[in-house]
A and B are shown apart, each in its own frame.
Chain A
Amino acid sequence: MRNHDASHGRVLRRLNVWGLSIAGLALLAGLLGFPVTGWAEDAASASAAVSYRDIPQLGGSRNVIWVIAQLHLLLAGFVLGVPIFAWLCEIVGWKTDEKRYDKLAKEFTKLLTSSYATTALFGGILLFLLIGFYPKLMTYLTDVFFPSFLVYCALFLLETVTLYLYWYGWDVMLEGRAKVFHLFLGFLLNVFAFFIMIIPNSWATFQASPVVIAEGSSLARAWAATWNPTWWPVNVHRLIANVVLGGFICGAYAGVRYLSAKSAEEREHYDWMGYVGNFIGVFGMLPLPFAGYWLMREVYQYNQQMGITLMGGFLSWLFILQAMLIGVLFLGANYYFWLGITYRIPGAEMKYKRPIMAMLVILLLCLGVWMTPHSLVASLEEARKLGGTHHPLLGVFGVMSAKMTVANLMILVTFMSFIMYWRAGKEETATWAKVAKAMMSGLFGVAAIVIIVLGVWGYFVPAIVRINYFSVAQVLIVLFVLLTVTPLTALLMKTARTTSEMVWGRMPPRAGYALVLNAVMVILLMTLMGYARSSSRVHWHIYGVMRDSSPYAYSPALGYAAAFMSLNTFIFCLLVAFIFWVATMGDKGQAKDAGHGSALPAMAGGSQALDDRTDVKSV
């Protein structure tokens, strides 16, 4: 009975905190929104049809919107990625009966409550600012999309109710059918989250690729505008990217906690958490380039000029920066795998030294090719010496055929790293193991050769043949390798004998920094590609439909934009750190109350020993 009361007390305390935080956020939103409504009234009295408002004192309306929209999007990506991440962990915990996965899932769900409110707060601020700064555009979009606004609100209500049930019902739905129902709630949470993501996507993609909206009911018009050519490519791309973001942020959190861990138990726990985060991040990252390729294909098909603006126009250098960031991300993810093999698996260091070196060289070469610009900005004299704007030797690497080839090779190498890590410290006992291993090696070898052959052949065929057949074939080959080698390895490992146990908590500090670096790269990539998508509309609010006639109709140069990207990334990192700190503050207090001192990790799921402690289970 005492336990029951205590549990009620805890729930009430949580609700109180939650209620207070919501009230505080609403008040803050109101205060922030107040001046905007004031300006709106002034402007409305001055003119009946105001197109734009500005606040030059704060660096201009466009820059304010840039920061707020980017932070809202990053938080939204995090809020939508974490439930996928948590739900997957919960399923793994349920299937394998390893409680630490369940606890990890629960602790990340705890983050959702505070991050959900923060995301909604930024969404509210963004909406106020958009209505204030861009009334004409917002009126147009409202006219087109009003029915989907209503659906969006309804989905938010459903998502909120499901999140409450999912989070507050965790401890009472631990076993049997109740657990299955809880997993179903997690599934529903992700379904609603998915629809919450794709509805605003329709607004944003309509701005980039509008379609003709004929007469009809408001629902029919909204539906027609929603089904624009880039809607689904963006939906798929964002869904995968959110999983990557959630995974790498979990990894970064684990990295930071690992660096400041005070006990062996904490080190073990956060080392393991870093591994899980990095694994999910890499898992999502492998198919992401394919989704990006599909999106670009649709952009080209929708409007060739927009595609050229992106890939060959003033944004072409942006893709060199993108290549650099993705390259560093691939290197960081692989480096973390290699450190894991070296430090966690005793005796594996020497065995895998050569393959690791070979993979590092391949990755660096691929990165070099990917980062080679298509043409060089050169003076007339320099161009004469070069024989054109293309470098006589390196120019050959600047074209799409080479870049597609190396991107696919980098995915293959990363996948090899992952398979190597999976198999390290184990000896296959299946009778067909040799055949399977030979087959896997053959698959990797043949796939690499075919990808290179198609890449070289791509130089000698018309672009349309390369884009429609060769590039697609390269992508399909890599997907085929991923989808055949993964289940084959899983089958092999099922009966494999462990030769050296994995030892957690022995990674060097640079592993923690590698995890932080990966997360920063993913966030920077999201900000960079957000700028690319926005700038591809050039001087249009809605491409070809509504022109931007404000003083900010220009797209700024990359350097200026990069400063904003860095600023947004930094603020977002601080916000996430704050959310983590707030969410885990209670755990530390409870740990102290229970008299366990500092040995208890703030984020649950430290180890099996921790799971077995009955006093911890009741927390």
Chain B
Amino acid sequence: MSEVALLQLIGLGVIGAGVVILLFIQSRFPRVIGFVMIVLGLFSLIALSVPQMASLPPAEEKFDVASIKTANDMAVIGQKIFFSKGQCALCHSIGPSESARCPDLKGIGAKLSREFIYESLTQPQAYIYLDYRHEGPPKDYPARMPHINKNPIGLTNNEILSVIAFLQQMSGEPITISPSEIEMPGQSAPVSTTASAPAPSRPSPAKSKAKGKAKRADAGFVAMVHGR
């Protein structure tokens, strides 16, 4: 017997019991219970008569190092991570969107160097912009971006590199991440992707052109969000 048939049988049984109570018992309280049983049984039967659709979870994405042969393979995996484990799409959009709460990432791979993207993901407070939304001297404007390599998101180095590959590919840029940079299990990071020194609290004029662009873009976003 199928689950639906079994539940229908139970529903009918509950209604039947309710009818019996109403027919043969005169005491008021049991009669009310019988009435409630009939109502609930009917509700269940109606719910069982509509199309029965369960929502099954999709298969979880696994980062299979062995499957990576080309830079494009990395970008494919990076796209999956971007929309799932990485939670990037929770706030960022690719292209203009009214519901996006953080900067639009369309073309970001063309605007920023891979080192800067890596640093933005793992040290979001490395460059703290200035906030002019009040009287007096400007104050630091801490980024709302979480550390992607720490909990709760906790992307591994391989996963972060794949996301960068996806961002570059999505921006129409050549992917500068090579599959050889992928860490094999039990192996330490083969490539130093970013400076690990403590970040200055102000953007340095000596940074690359790409970083300068990023600074302006983000500052523009801050101004736009706050109506400036």
Most A C-beta atoms less than 10 A away, residue of B14, B53, B84, B102: B53
Are A535 and B35 in contact, CB atoms less than 8 angstroms apart?
A: no
B44's partner among A256, A324, A512, A563 (CB-CB below 8 A) is A563
Within 8 A of B (CB), among A118-148: 140
CA A546 to CA B60, docked complex, whole Å: 12
Please tell me if the beta carbons of B145 and A259 are within 8 angstroms of each other in the complex.
no
Instruction: From A213, A303, A377, A544, give the contact of B51 (CB < 8 A).
Output: A377
Q: Which residues of B contact A553 (CB under 8 A)?
A: 57
Are the CB atoms of B37 and A304 closer together than 8 Å?
no
- Does B99 lie within 8 Å of A212, measured CB to CB? no
Closest residue of chain B to A313, judged by CB?
B55
Q: How far is the CB of B157 from chain A (nearest CB, A)?
A: 20
Instruction: Find out whether the CB atom of B55 lies under 8 angstroms from the CB atom of A535.
Output: yes
Rounded to whole Å, the gap between the CB of A389 and the closest CB of chain B is 12
**Within the assembled complex, what's the spacing in Å between the Cα atoms of A449 and B37?**
41
Number of interface residues of B (CB under 8 A): 51
Contact indicator A555/B54 (Cβ below 8 Å): yes
CB within 8 Å of B: which A528-579 residues: 535, 538-539, 544-549, 553-563, 565-566, 569-570, 573, 577
A560 near B3 (CB under 8 angstroms)? Answer: yes
CB contact under 8 A between A215 and B54, given known A545-B87, A549-B60: no
Enumerate chain A residues within 8 angstroms of B55, measured Cβ to Cβ.
Answer: 309, 313-314, 535, 538-539, 554-555
- The interface residues of chain B lying within 8 Å CB-to-CB of A549 are 60
Closest to B42 in A: A566
Complex Cα spacing A561 to B36, Å: 18
Tell me the complex Cα distance, A260–B124, Å: 69
Q: How far is the CB of B90 from chain A (nearest CB, A)?
A: 5
A563 to B8, CA, bound (A): 9
B58 contacts partner chain A, Cβ-Cβ < 8 Å: yes
Q: In the docked arrangement, what's the CA distance between A1 and B226, Å?
A: 70
Which chain B residue lies CB-closest to A315?
A: B55
A544 to B84 Cα, complex, angstroms: 7
* CB < 8 Å neighbour of B36 from A212, A377, A516, A565: A516
Contacts of A547 in B (CB 8 A): 57, 60, 84-85
B39 touches A212 (CB 8 A): no
B50 close to A558 (CB less than 8 A): yes
Partner of A210, one of B53, B90, B124, B143: B90
Contact partner of B144 (CB less than 8 A), chosen from A212, A260, A559, A560, is A212
Q: Please determine whether B143 and A214 come into contact, CB atoms closer than 8 angstroms.
A: yes
**326-353 of chain A: CB within 8 A of chain B:** none
Nearest-CB distance from B166 to chain A (Å)?
A: 17
CA of A314 to CA of B50, assembled, Å: 11
Nearest Cβ distance between residue A551 and chain B, in whole angstroms? 10
In the complex, which of the residues B43, B53, B102, B146 contacts A566, with contact meaning CB atoms closer than 8 Å? Answer: B43
Cβ contact within 8 Å between B152 and A516: no
- Which residues of chain B are near A301, meaning CB under 8 Å? 98-99
Q: Is the interface of A mostly helix, strand, loop or mixed?
A: helix
CB neighbours (8 Å) of A105 from chain B are none
Check if B46 is an interface residue, CB within 8 A of chain A: yes
CA gap between A553 and B57 in the complex, in Å: 6
Is A321 among interface residues, defined by CB-CB distance under 8 A? yes
Q: Which residue of A256, A313, A546, A556 contacts B152 across the interface (Cβ within 8 Å)?
A: A546
User: Looking at the complex, which one of B10, B41, B101, B125 makes contact with A212 (CB distance below 8 Å)?
Assistant: B101
B103 to chain A, nearest CB (A): 12
Of A313, A548, A558, which is in contact with the most chain B CB atoms at under 10 Å from its CB?
Answer: A558
In the complex, per-residue mask of B63-90: 1 if CB is within 8 Å of any chain A CB, else 0: 0000000000000000000001101011
Is A240 engaged at the interface, CB distance under 8 Å to the other chain?
no
Report whether A214 and B46 are in contact in the complex, using a CB–CB cutoff of 8 Å: no
For residue A416, CB closer than 8 A to chain B, the reply is no
Q: Are B7 and A554 in contact (CB under 8 A)?
A: no
Known: A212-B91, A321-B46, A545-B90. A554 touches B99 (CB 8 A): no
A260→B57 contact, CB < 8 A: no
Shortest distance between the CB of B61 and any CB in chain A (Å): 10
Which of B53, B58, B147 contacts A314 (CB under 8 A)? B53
- B90–A544 contact, CB under 8 A? yes
Q: Whole-angstrom distance between the alpha carbons of A317 and B50 in the complex?
A: 7
Q: B51 to nearest A CB, angstroms? A: 5
With A321-B50, A555-B54: A563-B90 Cβ-Cβ less than 8 Å: no
Does A504 lie at the interface of the complex (its beta carbon under 8 Å from any beta carbon of B)?
no
Residues of chain A lying within 8 A (CB to CB) of residue B152 = 140, 545-546
Q: Does A524 contact B (CB under 8 A)?
A: yes
Residue with the greatest number of chain A CB neighbours at <10 A, chosen from B50, B87, B89, B124: B50
A544 near B125: Cβ-Cβ < 8 Å: no
* Chain A 508-527 near chain B by CB (<8 Å), digits 1 or 0: 00001100110010001000
B144 touches A517 (CB 8 A): no
Find chain A residues with CB under 8 A from B57 CB. 538-539, 547-548, 553-554
A302 contacts the other chain (CB 8 A) = yes
Q: Is A320 an interface residue (CB 8 A)?
A: yes
Considering the chains assembled together, what is the distance between the CA atoms of A555 and B89 in angstroms? 23
Task: List the B side residues contacting A260 at CB < 8 Å.
Answer: 28-29
CA distance A317 to B28 in the complex (A): 36
Contacts of B47 on A, CB cut-off 8 Å? 321, 558-559, 561-562, 565
Q: Which residues of A contact B60 (CB under 8 A)?
A: 547, 549
Q: How far is the CA of A366 from the CA of B207 in the complex (A)?
A: 66
Q: How far does the alpha carbon of A295 sit from the alpha carbon of B100 in the complex, in Å?
A: 19
Inter-subunit contact B48/A562 (CB<8 Å): yes
Asked whether, in the complex, the Cβ of A557 is within 8 Å of the Cβ of B53, the reply is: yes
For B46, the chain A residues whose CB sits under 8 A away are 321, 324, 562
Closest to A540 in B: B57
Distance (Å) between the CB of B37 and the closest chain A CB?
Answer: 7
Contact between chains at A570 and B40 (CB < 8 Å): yes
The answer to whether B40 touches A569 (Cβ under 8 A) is yes
Partner of B146, one of A213, A309, A317, A577: A213
Verify B36–A214 contact, CB threshold 8 A.
no
Shortest Cβ distance from residue A440 to the other chain B in the assembled complex, whole angstroms: 36
Distance in angstroms from B62 CB to nearest chain A CB is 12
Cα A513 to Cα B28 with chains together (Å): 11
How close is B100's CB to chain A, nearest CB, in angstroms? Answer: 11
Given A545-B90, A562-B43; A212-B145 close (CB under 8 Å): yes
Besides the known contacts A214-B144, A545-B152, 16 further A-B residue pairs in the complex with CB atoms under 8 A apart: A212-B146, A215-B147, A304-B99, A313-B55, A314-B54, A321-B43, A513-B32, A513-B35, A516-B36, A520-B39, A547-B85, A558-B52, A559-B48, A559-B50, A566-B44, A573-B36
Q: B residues within 8 Å of A by Cβ?
A: 3-4, 7, 10-11, 14, 28-29, 31-32, 35-37, 39-41, 43-44, 46-48, 50-58, 60, 84-85, 87, 89-91, 98-99, 101-102, 124-125, 142-147, 152-153
Name 29 interchain pairs, CB-CB below 8 A, sorted by A.
Answer: A212-B101, A256-B28, A256-B29, A256-B32, A259-B32, A301-B98, A314-B53, A317-B50, A320-B50, A324-B46, A512-B32, A513-B32, A516-B32, A516-B36, A520-B39, A545-B153, A548-B57, A554-B56, A555-B54, A555-B55, A557-B53, A557-B54, A558-B47, A560-B7, A560-B52, A563-B10, A566-B44, A570-B36, A577-B29
